[in-house]
């Protein structure tokens, strides 16, 4: 811990311990009305938004360690080195949609070798003693005796840290598996496979996964990252993007039908973040689609979130495609509309239906209970409205219970936004997806954004937002601005039904976009202060909004203070969130009015405080530099006196049952 963070933590501990106003200071008085339950806080209120940007899927959450495992990147051997006698071929492929594979042949001398070596995604994270499942589809190219391959994990000094052999007796394509246990930890390891017999062997879909994935699934997710997602207890999970839904062109859009079924046969797609920013090019960024829609539905189920798929509306990214010829004409959208209808059937249909049977075949006969579908990401203009209308009509006709989400465009206000909102009302979509990547001042000014919003609907989905500091740091100050803004979302839970920070994940050595909610490398992860803010809101979302006032008004900026309150009728408690964005301590008196009868206060209350210097960040080396601290909070009667430290976010929980 550096000195300033240490001093800050000590000061916070002291303030928590005294929890009473400094002598001589007049506290600001906040009133909470225990019985005036307002809007229902939707279970979906705080959620997660996943997009495969910053190597969030392949090389990130998706636990596969081999890059280009199918040899079907356009540069067939990208990610691989070959040695000896290695041929790349598509003749007699095991997988129709990923036909390329390699043949390792005898190099002509017993002391020479033919083999391949994979570099992983900026290397492979390998942990000493952990188990790794190597699988390969292989066949002997002739019936003249079994082949052997040797499989090795290599560290950065070229030492072998794990080794196994596989015998391949058959000339038919078969799947082979072996478990490797590295004797040392290596954060940038690589995989080597070579022919250890005479003859020739064909190999495809060369894969290496930790055995210990999230929920222990093969084709699974990195346990540390998925656990961090689960720990936010998200109400909704939006996937798969973002701009990735649209693609740089229609050919590279996210086609969900390519992302289901056996992973070996999911065709590789170019990742649109590969070349979106010329100053951060990642020519090796492709989507294996191994983390596909089935896995997104499973993950949503595992973490208790409503799945929220976003589908292409037939417009390629409008930032990069201006001509009508780049998009699907409005009268030719049938395939895209059918994709949306089929997705509902895949998620919810009986196993006897064509798409429901595909879900059942993937091991999930029970429905995923899909309730929401978003059409289009950041789209705008008449071209979007015309296309969305076709989808809305078709979805309403076939699945009237599905809630459709439209877009307010890429910006939080302005021409596109002003055009789209009335159109969304006209089309009667259920929610409108608003995005705001803005500076710290915007977040403070917009803490009252929804106080005077039109209450006629549709509801708001704050689908992408993050406070962008000039240096794009994931600092505590940025997180505090987000917290201040979120008190406004919560106060207006009748208008705002969902909110998801963006983007979610970023590899420290392969990012395209900052800031992000969670940073990771090949073996470690760090939750940013923004993550902690999201988590505190989500774990304390309550069930009904309660009015919290200071001098009869909501607290939304006076003296740099922002606040909201809810009642949690399941846990039986009042929850008050107060953000102090000012640089000074603020004495407060919180009075809970009408807390009588079944709403009478019980003695045990707590306060969870997040406080740190403005520039504090969590890093992979110091992931807990900024961390919440929980302590008892003492009410006297129905009032609590306390001091909010400068630059802090406090969550008070007071029980009534
Ligand atoms: O979150 C990163 C990108 O920001 C998303 O893909 C896009 O929707 C927005 O422009």
22 assigned to some structural domain:
yes
Identify whether residues 351 and 418 lie together within a single domain.
yes
**What's the pLDDT at 32?**
98
Same domain for 523 and 646, yes or no, is no
**How many CA atoms are closer than 13 Å to the CA of 428, on its beta-carbon side?**
6
Q: Which atom of ligand 1 is nearest to the CA of 464?
A: 1
> Ligand 1: distance of its center to the CA of 364 in Å?
31
Contact in structure between 347 and 399 (CB atoms under 8 Å):
no
Q: Is residue 52 part of a domain?
A: yes
Asked if residue 453 and residue 370 are part of one domain, the reply reads yes
**Ligand 1 site, residue 234, Cβ cutoff 6 A:** no
Rounded distance from Cα 15 to ligand 1 centre (Å): 40
User: Which has the closest alpha carbon to 584: 555, 561, 618, 607?
Assistant: 561
Distance (angstroms) between ligand 1 centre and the Cα of 602 equals 45
Range of the domain at 579: 3-41+544-656
The catalytically annotated residue of 119, 295, 306, 378 is 378
Among 182, 210, 238, give the residue marking a domain's end: 210
What is the best residue among 52, 242, 408 to mutate for testing ligand 1's pocket, by most ligand atoms within 8 Å of CB?
Answer: 242
Give me ligand 1 centre to Cα 597, in Å.
Answer: 49
Is residue 74 in a domain? no
Nearest CA to ligand 1 atom 4: 242
CB 243 near ligand 1, within 6 Å: yes
- Tell me phi and psi for residue 40, to 5 degrees: -70, 135
Asked, for residue 69, whether it belongs to a domain, the answer is: no
Mutate to test the pocket of ligand 1, among 55, 56, 241, 409 (most ligand atoms within 8 A of CB): 241
Based on the domain organization, do 389 and 404 belong to the same domain?
Answer: yes
Ligand 1 atom with minimal separation from the 502 CA:
1
Same domain flag for 372 and 236: yes
Domains contained in the chain, number: 3
- Which atom of ligand 1 lies at the shortest distance from residue 513's CA? 2
Instruction: Give yes or no for residue 317 CB within 6 A of ligand 1.
Output: no
> Using CA positions, which residue lies closest to atom 2 of ligand 1?
503
Listed in sequence order, the DSSP H helices in 90-242 are 223-230
Q: Is the same domain home to 307 and 348?
A: yes
- Identify the domain boundary among 161, 189, 210: 210
In a shared domain, residues 23 and 172: no
Instruction: Classify residue 256: in a domain, yes or no.
Output: yes
Residue indicated by tokens 């596909």: 292
Residue nearest atom 5 in ligand 1 by C-alpha distance: 242
Tokens of 553: 């008004």
Name the token pair of 401. Answer: 């219970």
Distance 242 CA to ligand 1 centre (A): 5
Q: Are strands 46-49 and 101-105 parallel, antiparallel or unpaired?
A: unpaired
Residue 524 covered by a domain:
yes
379 ligand 1 Cβ < 6 A? no
503 Cβ inside 6 Å of ligand 1 = yes
473: in domain: yes
Q: Does one domain contain both 302 and 438?
A: yes
User: What CA–CA distances, in Å, run from 386 to 327, 391, 399, 427?
Assistant: 12, 9, 20, 10
Burial of 360 from C-beta contacts in 10 A (0-12 / 13-18 / 19+): middle
Task: List, in order, residues 6 or more apart from 232 with CB less than 8 Å away.
Answer: 46, 48, 531, 534, 535, 538, 539
Residue with tokens 């909070």: 633
Choice from 55, 57, 243 to test ligand 1 binding pocket (greatest atom count within 8 A of CB):
243
- Give the ligand 1 atom nearest the CA of 51: 6
Q: Which residue has the tokens 């995604």?
A: 121
Token pair of 483 as six digits: 């917290």
- Count of C-beta atoms within a 10 Å radius of residue 214: 22
Quote the CA–CA distance of 547 and 580 in Å, as a whole number.
19
Tell the residue nearest (CA) to atom 7 of ligand 1: 242
216, 222, 224, 230 alpha-carbon torsion, rounded to 10°? -80
Nearest-CA residue for ligand 1 atom 1 is 503
Nearest CA to ligand 1 atom 3: 242
Query: Are 230 and 321 in a shared domain?
Result: yes
CA–CA dist 170, 142 (Å, integer): 9
Residues 243 and 94 in one domain: no
Residue having the nearest C-alpha atom to atom 9 of ligand 1? 242
Gap between the Cα atoms of 8 and 18, Å rounded: 16
Instruction: State whether the beta carbon of 53 lies less than 6 angstroms from ligand 1.
Output: yes
CATH of the domain at 501: 3.20.20.80
pLDDT at 23: 54
For ligand 1, is residue 309 a contact (CB within 6 Å)? Answer: no
Positions in the chain whose pLDDT score sits under 50 = 1-3, 6-7, 10, 14, 17-18, 21
Closest atom of ligand 1 relative to the 49 alpha carbon:
1
pLDDT at 3: 46
Nearest to 343 by CA among 353, 328, 332, 352: 353
Q: Which of 240, 276, 277, 378 has the most ligand 1 atoms within 8 A of CB, as the residue to mutate?
A: 378
The pick from 374, 377, 468, 472 for probing ligand 1's pocket by mutation, whose C-beta has the most ligand atoms within 8 angstroms, reads 377
Domain boundary among 210, 241, 267: 210
> 3-state DSSP call for residue 149?
strand
**How many helices, marked H, and strands, marked E, lie in the chain?**
11, 35
**Known catalytic residue at 413:** no
Measured in Å, residue 526 CA sits from the centre of ligand 1 at 21
- Report the CATH number that the domain containing residue 118 is assigned in CATH: 2.60.120.260
Tell me the angle at which helices 381-398 and 334-348 cross, rounded to the nearest 10 degrees.
Answer: 40
Does 423 fall in a domain?
yes
- Determine if ligand 1 sits within 6 Å of the CB of residue 235: no
Of 340, 321, 432, nearest to 390 by C-alpha is: 340
Ligand 1 close to Cβ of residue 513 (< 6 A): yes
The verdict on the CB of residue 464 being under 6 Å from ligand 1 is yes
The CATH number for 613's domain is 2.60.40.1180
* Cα 619 to Cα 98: distance, rounded to the nearest angstrom: 38
Q: What's the pLDDT score for residue 164?
A: 98
Q: Are residues 523 and 587 in the same domain?
A: no
Residues 339, 458, single domain; the answer is yes
Sheet holding 101-105: strands in order across?
Answer: 85-89, 101-105, 200-210, 132-140, 174-180
Atom index in ligand 1 nearest the CA of residue 244 equals 6
- Ligand 1 centroid to Cα of residue 29, in Å, is 41
Q: Of all protein residues, whose CA lies closest to atom 8 belonging to ligand 1? A: 242
Output the CA 436–ligand 1 centroid distance in Å.
10
Among 452, 446, 546, CA closest to 499: 446
């Amino acid at each position: 811990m550096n000195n300033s963070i240490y001093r800050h933590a000590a000061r916070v501990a002291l303030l928590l311990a005294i929890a009473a106003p400094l002598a001589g200071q007049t506290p600001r008085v906040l009133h909470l009305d225990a019985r005036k339950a307002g809007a229902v806080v939707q279970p979906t209120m705080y959620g997660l938004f996943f997009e495969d940007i910053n190597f969030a899927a392949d090389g990130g959450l998706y636990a596969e360690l081999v890059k280009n495992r199918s040899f079907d990147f356009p540069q067939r051997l990208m990610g691989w080195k070959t040695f000896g006698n290695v041929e790349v071929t598509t003749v007699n492929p095991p997988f129709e949609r990923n036909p390329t594979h390699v043949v390792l042949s005898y190099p002509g001398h017993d002391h020479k070798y033919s083999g391949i070596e994979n570099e992983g995604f900026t290397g492979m994270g390998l942990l000493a003693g952990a188990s790794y499942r190597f699988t390969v589809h292989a066949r002997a190219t002739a019936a003249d005796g079994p082949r052997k391959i040797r499989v090795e994990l290599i560290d950065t000094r070229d030492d072998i840290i794990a080794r196994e052999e596989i015998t391949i007796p058959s000339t038919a394509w078969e799947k082979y598996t072996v478990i490797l246990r590295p004797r040392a930890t290596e954060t940038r390891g690589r995989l080597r496979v070579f022919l250890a017999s005479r003859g020739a062997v064909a190999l495809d879909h060369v894969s290496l996964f930790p055995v210990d994935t999230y929920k222990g699934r093969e084709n699974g997710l990195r346990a540390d990252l998925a656990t961090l997602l689960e720990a936010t207890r998200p109400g909704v999970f939006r996937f798969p993007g973002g701009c990735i839904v649209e693609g740089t062109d229609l050919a590279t859009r996210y086609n969900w039908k390519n992302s289901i079924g056996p992973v070996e046969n999911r065709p590789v797609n170019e990742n649109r973040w590969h070349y979106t920013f010329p100053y951060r090019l990642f020519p090796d960024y492709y989507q294996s689609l191994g983390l596909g829609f089935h896995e997104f539905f499973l993950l949503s189920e595992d973490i208790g979130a409503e799945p929220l798929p976003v589908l292409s509306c037939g417009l390629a990214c409008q930032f990069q495609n201006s001509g009508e010829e780049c998009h699907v004409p409005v009268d030719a959208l049938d395939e895209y509309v059918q994709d949306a209808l089929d997705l509902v059937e895949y998620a919810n249909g009986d196993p006897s239906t064509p798409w429901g049977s595909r879900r059942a075949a993937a091991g999930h006969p029970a429905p995923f209970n899909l309730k929401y579908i978003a059409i289009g990401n950041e789209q705008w203009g008449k071209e979007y409205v015309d296309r969305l209308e076709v989808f809305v009509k078709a979805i309403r006709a076939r699945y009237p219970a599905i809630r459709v989400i439209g877009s307010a465009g890429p910006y939080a206000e302005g021409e596109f936004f002003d055009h789209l909102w009335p159109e969304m009302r006209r089309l009667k979509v259920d929610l409108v997806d608003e995005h705001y990547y803005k500076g710290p001042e915007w977040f403070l000014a917009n803490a009252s954004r929804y106080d005077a919003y039109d209450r006629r609907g549709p509801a708001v989905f704050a689908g992408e937002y993050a406070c962008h500091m000039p240096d794009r740091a994931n600092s505590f100050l940025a997180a505090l601005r987000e917290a201040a803004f979120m008190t406004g979302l919560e106060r207006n839970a009748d208008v705002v039904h969902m909110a998801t920070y963006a983007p979610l994940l970023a590899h420290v050595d392969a990012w395209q976009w900052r800031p992000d909610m969670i940073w990771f490398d090949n073996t470690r992860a760090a939750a940013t202060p923004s993550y902690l803010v999201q988590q505190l809101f989500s774990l304390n979302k309550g069930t009904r909004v309660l009015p919290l006032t200071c001098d009869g008004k909501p607290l939304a900026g006076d003296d740099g203070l922002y606040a909201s309150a809810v009642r949690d009728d399941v846990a039986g408690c009042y929850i008050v969130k107060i953000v102090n964005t000012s640089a000074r301590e603020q004495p407060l008196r919180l009075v809970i009015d009408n807390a009588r009868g079944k709403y009478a206060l019980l003695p045990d209350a707590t306060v969870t405080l997040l406080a740190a210097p403005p520039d504090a960040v969590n890093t992979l080396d110091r992931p807990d530099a900024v961390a919440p601290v929980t302590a008892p909070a003492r009410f006297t009667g129905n009032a609590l006196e306390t001091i909010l430290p400068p630059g802090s976010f406090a969550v008070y929980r007071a029980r009534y049952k």
